[in-house]
Structure 1
Amino acid sequence: MKGFLTIALLSVSNLFMTFAWYGHLYFKKLPWFAKTGLVGVVLLSWGLALFEYAFQVPANRLGFEENGGPFSLFQLKVIQEVITLTVFTLCAVFVFKSDTLRWNHLVGFGLLVAAVYVIFRKW
Protein backbone atom coordinates (compact mmCIF):
# COMPACT_ATOMS: atom_id res chain seq x y z
CA MET A 1 0.00 0.00 0.00
CA LYS A 2 2.85 2.41 0.84
CA GLY A 3 4.44 1.69 -2.51
CA PHE A 4 1.25 2.49 -4.42
CA LEU A 5 0.65 5.66 -2.40
CA THR A 6 4.26 6.74 -2.95
CA ILE A 7 3.89 6.33 -6.72
CA ALA A 8 0.53 8.13 -6.74
CA LEU A 9 1.93 11.09 -4.77
CA LEU A 10 4.99 11.26 -7.02
CA SER A 11 2.71 11.27 -10.07
CA VAL A 12 0.68 14.22 -8.77
CA SER A 13 3.91 15.94 -7.77
CA ASN A 14 5.32 15.56 -11.26
CA LEU A 15 2.17 16.93 -12.85
CA PHE A 16 2.64 20.14 -10.88
CA MET A 17 6.35 20.23 -11.67
CA THR A 18 5.78 19.76 -15.39
CA PHE A 19 3.50 22.81 -15.38
CA ALA A 20 5.90 24.75 -13.15
CA TRP A 21 8.78 24.13 -15.56
CA TYR A 22 7.02 24.10 -18.92
CA GLY A 23 3.52 25.45 -18.38
CA HIS A 24 4.52 29.02 -19.20
CA LEU A 25 5.38 27.85 -22.72
CA TYR A 26 1.80 26.64 -23.11
CA PHE A 27 0.00 29.33 -21.13
CA LYS A 28 1.45 32.11 -23.29
CA LYS A 29 -1.41 31.25 -25.69
CA LEU A 30 -3.90 32.55 -23.12
CA PRO A 31 -4.67 36.28 -23.41
CA TRP A 32 -4.30 37.07 -19.69
CA PHE A 33 -0.98 35.23 -19.51
CA ALA A 34 0.54 36.56 -22.74
CA LYS A 35 1.18 39.93 -21.09
CA THR A 36 2.84 38.44 -18.02
CA GLY A 37 6.49 39.41 -17.71
CA LEU A 38 9.34 37.15 -16.71
CA VAL A 39 9.03 37.99 -13.00
CA GLY A 40 5.34 37.06 -13.06
CA VAL A 41 6.12 33.81 -14.85
CA VAL A 42 8.80 32.93 -12.30
CA LEU A 43 6.45 33.67 -9.39
CA LEU A 44 3.70 31.57 -10.94
CA SER A 45 6.18 28.73 -11.48
CA TRP A 46 7.32 28.96 -7.86
CA GLY A 47 3.70 28.80 -6.75
CA LEU A 48 3.20 25.62 -8.75
CA ALA A 49 6.47 24.19 -7.45
CA LEU A 50 5.20 24.66 -3.89
CA PHE A 51 2.40 22.20 -4.67
CA GLU A 52 4.95 19.89 -6.28
CA TYR A 53 6.91 19.81 -3.03
CA ALA A 54 3.72 19.34 -1.01
CA PHE A 55 3.29 15.96 -2.74
CA GLN A 56 6.91 15.01 -3.43
CA VAL A 57 8.29 15.31 0.09
CA PRO A 58 5.57 13.14 1.71
CA ALA A 59 5.93 10.61 -1.13
CA ASN A 60 9.66 10.21 -0.50
CA ARG A 61 9.26 10.10 3.29
CA LEU A 62 6.51 7.49 3.00
CA GLY A 63 8.30 5.39 0.40
CA PHE A 64 11.81 5.40 1.87
CA GLU A 65 12.77 2.06 3.42
CA GLU A 66 14.38 3.65 6.50
CA ASN A 67 10.97 5.21 7.26
CA GLY A 68 9.16 1.87 6.86
CA GLY A 69 8.55 2.22 3.13
CA PRO A 70 9.37 -0.32 0.44
CA PHE A 71 11.98 1.61 -1.58
CA SER A 72 15.67 2.38 -1.28
CA LEU A 73 16.94 5.86 -2.12
CA PHE A 74 18.14 4.71 -5.56
CA GLN A 75 14.80 3.07 -6.25
CA LEU A 76 12.89 6.22 -5.29
CA LYS A 77 15.01 8.28 -7.67
CA VAL A 78 14.54 5.91 -10.60
CA ILE A 79 10.78 5.73 -9.97
CA GLN A 80 10.65 9.53 -9.88
CA GLU A 81 12.56 9.84 -13.17
CA VAL A 82 10.32 7.38 -14.98
CA ILE A 83 7.22 9.14 -13.65
CA THR A 84 8.67 12.52 -14.66
CA LEU A 85 9.25 11.41 -18.25
CA THR A 86 5.87 9.70 -18.44
CA VAL A 87 3.98 12.75 -17.15
CA PHE A 88 6.04 15.08 -19.34
CA THR A 89 5.39 12.96 -22.44
CA LEU A 90 1.66 12.81 -21.82
CA CYS A 91 1.53 16.57 -21.27
CA ALA A 92 3.68 17.36 -24.34
CA VAL A 93 1.63 15.14 -26.63
CA PHE A 94 -1.91 15.56 -25.29
CA VAL A 95 -2.00 18.91 -23.44
CA PHE A 96 0.67 21.10 -25.04
CA LYS A 97 0.28 19.31 -28.38
CA SER A 98 3.76 20.55 -29.26
CA ASP A 99 5.49 17.31 -30.15
CA THR A 100 4.78 13.99 -31.79
CA LEU A 101 5.71 10.77 -30.06
CA ARG A 102 8.25 9.02 -32.30
CA TRP A 103 9.93 5.63 -32.32
CA ASN A 104 13.15 6.96 -30.78
CA HIS A 105 11.17 8.24 -27.79
CA LEU A 106 9.65 4.79 -27.32
CA VAL A 107 13.06 3.13 -27.54
CA GLY A 108 14.40 5.58 -24.97
CA PHE A 109 11.50 4.84 -22.64
CA GLY A 110 12.13 1.14 -23.10
CA LEU A 111 15.70 1.70 -21.97
CA LEU A 112 14.37 3.52 -18.91
CA VAL A 113 12.22 0.51 -18.09
CA ALA A 114 15.38 -1.60 -18.42
CA ALA A 115 17.09 0.79 -15.99
CA VAL A 116 14.27 0.30 -13.51
CA TYR A 117 14.70 -3.46 -13.81
CA VAL A 118 18.45 -3.21 -13.20
CA ILE A 119 18.03 -0.88 -10.20
CA PHE A 120 15.34 -3.04 -8.59
CA ARG A 121 17.03 -6.38 -9.20
CA LYS A 122 18.79 -7.87 -6.20
CA TRP A 123 22.23 -8.98 -7.43
Structure 2
Amino acid sequence: MTRLLIAIALLPIAAGCAGPELVAVRTDGQRIAASPMLRQNYEADRTVCLGETQKANLTRTPNYYGGFAAIAKQAEQDQAASDVFAGCMAQKGYAMVEKEKADAKIAEYGATAQAIAQEKQMMTGSVR
Protein backbone atom coordinates (compact mmCIF):
# COMPACT_ATOMS: atom_id res chain seq x y z
CA MET A 1 0.00 0.00 0.00
CA THR A 2 2.84 2.37 0.84
CA ARG A 3 4.50 1.76 -2.54
CA LEU A 4 1.22 2.55 -4.30
CA LEU A 5 0.87 5.83 -2.42
CA ILE A 6 4.46 6.80 -3.23
CA ALA A 7 3.95 5.95 -6.91
CA ILE A 8 0.77 8.04 -7.03
CA ALA A 9 2.54 10.93 -5.31
CA LEU A 10 5.42 10.78 -7.80
CA LEU A 11 3.25 10.71 -10.94
CA PRO A 12 3.04 14.51 -11.26
CA ILE A 13 6.80 14.73 -10.87
CA ALA A 14 7.40 12.06 -13.52
CA ALA A 15 4.87 13.68 -15.85
CA GLY A 16 6.61 17.03 -15.41
CA CYS A 17 9.88 15.47 -16.52
CA ALA A 18 8.36 14.41 -19.81
CA GLY A 19 9.36 17.72 -21.38
CA PRO A 20 7.70 19.79 -24.07
CA GLU A 21 5.52 18.32 -26.79
CA LEU A 22 7.56 17.56 -29.90
CA VAL A 23 6.33 17.62 -33.49
CA ALA A 24 7.98 16.58 -36.74
CA VAL A 25 8.99 19.19 -39.31
CA ARG A 26 10.60 18.60 -42.68
CA THR A 27 14.24 19.61 -42.86
CA ASP A 28 13.77 20.97 -46.37
CA GLY A 29 11.44 23.70 -45.07
CA GLN A 30 8.27 22.38 -46.67
CA ARG A 31 5.17 22.10 -44.52
CA ILE A 32 3.88 18.56 -44.10
CA ALA A 33 0.31 19.81 -44.47
CA ALA A 34 1.17 21.65 -47.72
CA SER A 35 0.10 18.78 -49.97
CA PRO A 36 -1.56 15.37 -49.76
CA MET A 37 1.64 13.75 -51.05
CA LEU A 38 3.76 15.26 -48.23
CA ARG A 39 1.16 14.18 -45.66
CA GLN A 40 1.08 10.66 -47.06
CA ASN A 41 4.89 10.43 -47.08
CA TYR A 42 4.99 11.69 -43.50
CA GLU A 43 2.43 9.12 -42.34
CA ALA A 44 4.37 6.31 -44.03
CA ASP A 45 7.69 7.48 -42.56
CA ARG A 46 6.13 7.92 -39.11
CA THR A 47 4.67 4.41 -39.23
CA VAL A 48 8.06 2.91 -40.12
CA CYS A 49 9.76 4.84 -37.31
CA LEU A 50 7.11 3.80 -34.79
CA GLY A 51 7.83 0.20 -35.80
CA GLU A 52 11.56 0.75 -35.26
CA THR A 53 10.78 2.21 -31.83
CA GLN A 54 8.65 -0.80 -30.96
CA LYS A 55 11.47 -3.14 -31.97
CA ALA A 56 13.83 -1.19 -29.70
CA ASN A 57 11.29 -1.45 -26.87
CA LEU A 58 11.41 -5.25 -27.12
CA THR A 59 14.89 -5.10 -25.61
CA ARG A 60 13.68 -3.41 -22.42
CA THR A 61 14.70 -5.14 -19.26
CA PRO A 62 12.11 -5.53 -16.53
CA ASN A 63 12.77 -3.92 -13.18
CA TYR A 64 11.68 -6.14 -10.32
CA TYR A 65 12.69 -3.83 -7.49
CA GLY A 66 10.29 -0.89 -7.77
CA GLY A 67 10.76 2.42 -6.01
CA PHE A 68 12.87 5.27 -7.29
CA ALA A 69 15.17 2.93 -9.20
CA ALA A 70 12.24 1.67 -11.24
CA ILE A 71 11.07 5.21 -12.00
CA ALA A 72 14.57 6.24 -13.06
CA LYS A 73 14.99 3.11 -15.21
CA GLN A 74 11.60 3.70 -16.87
CA ALA A 75 12.51 7.32 -17.65
CA GLU A 76 15.85 6.20 -19.11
CA GLN A 77 14.17 3.58 -21.30
CA ASP A 78 11.50 6.06 -22.42
CA GLN A 79 14.23 8.53 -23.43
CA ALA A 80 16.03 5.80 -25.36
CA ALA A 81 12.84 4.94 -27.25
CA SER A 82 12.30 8.63 -28.00
CA ASP A 83 15.86 8.86 -29.32
CA VAL A 84 15.29 5.86 -31.61
CA PHE A 85 12.17 7.51 -33.03
CA ALA A 86 13.88 10.89 -33.50
CA GLY A 87 16.89 9.26 -35.17
CA CYS A 88 14.71 7.29 -37.56
CA MET A 89 12.73 10.41 -38.46
CA ALA A 90 15.99 12.33 -39.02
CA GLN A 91 17.12 9.67 -41.49
CA LYS A 92 13.90 10.28 -43.38
CA GLY A 93 14.32 14.08 -43.49
CA TYR A 94 12.41 15.25 -40.41
CA ALA A 95 13.45 16.99 -37.22
CA MET A 96 11.61 16.71 -33.92
CA VAL A 97 11.11 20.21 -32.49
CA GLU A 98 9.07 21.79 -29.73
CA LYS A 99 5.55 22.46 -30.94
CA GLU A 100 5.75 26.17 -30.04
CA LYS A 101 8.92 26.57 -32.13
CA ALA A 102 7.79 24.57 -35.17
CA ASP A 103 6.86 27.53 -37.40
CA ALA A 104 10.15 29.29 -36.72
CA LYS A 105 12.11 26.09 -37.38
CA ILE A 106 10.26 25.47 -40.66
CA ALA A 107 11.13 29.02 -41.76
CA GLU A 108 14.77 28.48 -40.75
CA TYR A 109 14.99 25.20 -42.66
CA GLY A 110 13.31 26.80 -45.68
CA ALA A 111 15.79 29.68 -45.71
CA THR A 112 18.70 27.26 -45.45
CA ALA A 113 17.34 25.09 -48.28
CA GLN A 114 16.86 28.18 -50.45
CA ALA A 115 20.41 29.41 -49.75
CA ILE A 116 21.82 25.98 -50.64
CA ALA A 117 19.83 25.92 -53.89
CA GLN A 118 21.09 29.41 -54.81
CA GLU A 119 24.66 28.41 -54.02
CA LYS A 120 24.35 25.34 -56.23
CA GLN A 121 23.02 27.49 -59.07
CA MET A 122 25.92 29.91 -58.70
CA MET A 123 28.43 27.08 -58.66
CA THR A 124 27.04 25.41 -61.77
CA GLY A 125 26.60 28.76 -63.54
CA SER A 126 30.23 29.82 -63.00
CA VAL A 127 31.69 26.60 -64.45
CA ARG A 128 30.94 27.56 -68.05
TM-score calculated relative to the size of structure 1: 0.32
TM-score calculated relative to the size of structure 2: 0.31
Q: Which has the higher contact order (CA 8 A, sep 6+)?
A: 2
Structure showing greater Rg: 2
